[in-house]
Amino acid sequence: MDIKTYLSAKKFIVDKTLDKLVPCAKMFPASVHEAMRYSLFAGGKRVRPILSIAAAEALGAGTSGLLPLAGSLELIHTYSLIHDDLPAMDDDDFRRGRPTCHKVYGEAIAILAGDGLLNLAFEVLSDPRRTKAVPANRLIAIIKEISAASGVLGMVGGQVVDMESEGKEIDFPTLEYIHTHKTGALIRASVRVGAIYAKASEKRLKALTRYGELAGLAFQIVDDILDITGKREEIGKDVGSDLKKGKRTFPSFYGLEESRLRANEVAEKAVHSLRDFDRKADPLRELAKYIVNRVN
Amino acid sequence: MDIKTYLSAKKFIVDKTLDKLVPCAKMFPASVHEAMRYSLFAGGKRVRPILSIAAAEALGAGTSGLLPLAGSLELIHTYSLIHDDLPAMDDDDFRRGRPTCHKVYGEAIAILAGDGLLNLAFEVLSDPRRTKAVPANRLIAIIKEISAASGVLGMVGGQVVDMESEGKEIDFPTLEYIHTHKTGALIRASVRVGAIYAKASEKRLKALTRYGELAGLAFQIVDDILDITGKREEIGKDVGSDLKKGKRTFPSFYGLEESRLRANEVAEKAVHSLRDFDRKADPLRELAKYIVNRVN
């Protein structure tokens, strides 16, 4: 299989889904709807929805009913980017090569656009017109999965520790906490949402969960590497921003070369965790490799 | 019945519920958990959870299974207060007589505490340990109700328009939009959550929805009045803050006397909407009167 073709085909479907999930930019009050769409359609790779879809496919499930749930993962991811970029937080001016949400719409609207996207995710997840393909009890399990991953013991907690660590000498376990919570939790949840949707057995859910954890870790190591070695036009933000902010990263502990080795090792482990799956899991396998070889 | 006794009894139960729903303040990362608790236990009246409980009682339902759901309404209400108070938004230094969340914990932690509370609400609503009393399909309906009310076509939208109207000459329909969305939507949803929990018939749900809309409107008119006539030590924030911010309010359109009359009229209508309910709806009836007679 060709992962690039797979990714662009899925991205197309996810983008179409997202367009339907978010109110149109002219809907009153327009500013906040515009801001939500501005950040949501800023060229994201849609890694989380695609992981979710690939996990369901690995179990042989059809995925049309999964699309709104997969879309809600991207809504939550985008909310977290908008809030993380705020002046009071990471204070970033560029994201994916464009001015950040608060740079264009002001801080207040950016905060509210983030809040709006987060709420919208749960509105989508509980909307019978959009989720009729999923039995209510499974839907509840999916909502639990997503809210726990994005909450204070997941992504929010990771961002708290990340921010409180800026300019401080942190130890490696603290960096690991930041990674597993800030990025890892939602990536893990994305894979699990696809698995729960597809009625995974306990054993398969466990294997896919392991895959999700490893994929999330590989993703974050590579993010840290790209912040040093990436090209501005490819990563869409300033190179070296972690360093400038005094943020410790994977390479700052292990060096670039060792970090690259580790990322590859982790991706291989992710592939290995799928050893009991047939060819239908190939997209997940290729995704793990893509995650370490990506340039943005 | 004595509404004061009723309110303090219910507030006690709601507070106990909330204490169980929110991670303890020492849990890592402590700052955000402390901030969440700081704002959540700042002396709120718990109007929304109590309305929800009273609505279920009006239908003759036991309410122990409703408590976590009612609590989630207060989590969402508190998240909205924290974000509304931010410097980029209403820039308020005091709330309920104490410094606002960002004044104590800084802007970044305040934003994240708000995000944490919002996520937590949905985590609670989808947690089988907490919601086992509620069938999954009814739970989904409740999640839909709450997320729609707090989202961009509800509370978030109201805050957007409120902020964008500051210092501008707005017309009365715009003020009505702000009221019905910023405050009204979640109050209406609170009543409906209790009603859905208690398996209200279509007809009763409609009557209770009407009650919720009127109670929300009365609540907001009185809020506007108290911003002019209230005592600082009672309302817990500076008197005249709306005026200072150039915000138009109900009294700025109709004057104080007329606004008082309207608030009473609306509360009477709220009581009237319960005409087909028996004595079990007395708490709701008394709550409508309490809302217009309150001093904070």
Say whether A119 and B118 touch across the interface (CB within 8 A): yes
What pLDDT score was predicted for residue A96? 84
Best of A21, A111, A142, A245 to disrupt the B interface (most B CBs within 10 Å) is: A111
Residue of B nearest to A124 (CA): B144
B172 vs B59: CA distance, rounded Å: 36
Best of A75, A152, A164, A176 to disrupt the B interface (most B CBs within 10 Å) is: A152
Quick check: A86 and A107 in contact, CB under 8 A? yes
Residue of B nearest to A163 (CA): B108
Which residue reads 């991953």 in tokens?
A149
Say whether B118 and A116 touch across the interface (CB within 8 A): no
Q: What is the pLDDT of residues A28-56, one digit of tens each?
A: 999 999 999 999 999 999 999 999 999 99
Which CATH architecture group holds A3-293?
Orthogonal Bundle (1.10)
Residue of A nearest to B32 (CA): A160
Token representation of residue A268: 């291989």
Residue of B125, B32, B121 lying closest to B80 (CA atoms): B121
How does DSSP classify residue A45?
A: -
Quick check: B184 and B233 in contact, CB under 8 A? no
Q: What is the average pLDDT value for chain A, to the nearest integer?
A: 95
The ipTM assigned to this model is 0.96
Chain A residues lying within 8 Å of B118, measured CB to CB:
115, 118-119
Question: What distance in Å separates residue B174's CA from the closest CA in chain A?
Answer: 11
Token representation of residue A132: 């009729």
Tally C-beta pairs within 8 A across A and B.
149
Quick check: A69 and B91 in contact, CB under 8 A? no
Token representation of residue B159: 């805050």
Q: Map residue A95 onto helix, strand or coil.
A: strand
B156 vs B144: CA distance, rounded Å: 15
Residue of B250, B257, B256 lying closest to B216 (CA atoms): B250
Instruction: Give the largest Cα separation in chain B, rounded.
Output: 51
Quick check: B6 and B63 in contact, CB under 8 A? no
Residue of A192, A214, A205, A206 lying closest to A51 (CA atoms): A192
Q: What is the pLDDT of residues A131-164, one digit of tens each?
A: 999 999 999 999 999 999 999 999 999 999 999 9
pTM: 0.97
CB atoms within 10 A of CB B201: 10
Question: What distance in Å separates residue B22's CA from the closest CA in chain A?
Answer: 10
B109 vs A246: CA distance, rounded Å: 19
How does DSSP classify residue B197?
A: H
Per-position pLDDT tens, chain B of length 296: 899 999 999 999 999 999 999 999 889 999 999 999 999 999 999 999 999 999 999 999 999 999 999 999 999 999 999 999 999 999 999 988 899 999 999 999 999 999 999 999 999 999 999 999 999 999 999 999 999 999 999 999 999 999 999 888 999 999 999 999 999 999 999 999 999 999 999 999 999 999 999 999 999 999 999 999 987 777 777 777 787 888 889 999 999 999 999 999 999 999 999 999 999 999 999 999 999 998 77
How does DSSP classify residue A169?
A: -
Across the strands, what pairs with B94? B99
Across the strands, what pairs with A95? A98
Say whether B140 and A141 touch across the interface (CB within 8 A): no
Question: What distance in Å separates residue A283's CA from the closest CA in chain B?
Answer: 30
What pLDDT score was predicted for residue A246? 82
Q: Are strands B98-99 and B94-95 parallel, antiparallel or unpaired?
A: antiparallel
Residue of A nearest to B102 (CA): A88
Instruction: Give the rounded distance of the alpha carbon of A219 from its chain centre.
Output: 9
CA-to-CA dists, residue B128 to B69, B87, B125, B142, B193, angstroms: 12, 38, 8, 14, 18
CA-to-CA dists, residue B16 to A8, A87, B20, B264, angstroms: 50, 36, 7, 32
Which residue reads 């597809």 in tokens?
A198
Across the strands, what pairs with B98? B95
Instruction: Identify the H or E element spanning B157.
Output: helix B155-165
Of chain B, the end-to-end C-alpha distance in Å amounts to 21
Q: What is the pLDDT of residues B102-161, one digit of tens each?
A: 999 999 999 999 999 999 999 999 999 999 999 999 999 999 999 999 999 999 999 999
